[in-house]
Amino acid sequence: MEGMFDAAQARTASGRQGTRCATAAGAGHARAGGILDAHRRAVVESTHLVRDEPDLLPARHAVRAAAVAAGLGLIAQTKIVTAASELVRNAYVHGGAGTLVISTVTSPRGRRGLRLSVTDSGPGIPDVPAALADGFGTGTGPGHGLGGARTLVDEFAINTEVGRGTTVTIVQWVT
Ligand X SMILES: Nc1ncnc2c1ncn2[C@@H]1O[C@H](COP(=O)(O)OP(=O)(O)OP(=O)(O)O)[C@@H](O)[C@H]1O
Span 71-110, contacts to ligand X by CB under 6 A: 86, 90-91, 93-95
**The only residue of 34, 98, 145, 165 in contact with Mg ion, by rule CB under 5 A:** 145
Where does 24-160 have alpha helices with state H? 56-70, 74-93, 128-132, 145-152
131 binds, among Mg ion, ligand X, none (CB under 5 to 8 A by kind): ligand X
Q: Is 10 in the site for ligand X (CB under 6 A)?
A: no
Q: Is 122 in the site for Mg ion (CB under 5 A)?
A: no
CB of 106 to ligand X, least distance (A): 28
What's the CA gap between 102 and 50, in Å, rounded?
Answer: 13
Nearer to ligand X, 32 or 83 (CB): 83
CB neighbourhood size of 53 (10 A):
10
Q: Is 90 in the site for Mg ion (CB under 5 A)?
A: yes
Nearest to 173 by CA among 116, 105, 117, 118: 105
SS3 of 107, please? coil
What's the CA gap between 162 and 142, in Å, rounded?
Answer: 22
Select the residue whose beta carbon is closest to ligand X and give its number.
Answer: 141
Q: Which residues bind Mg ion (CB under 5 A)?
A: 90, 145
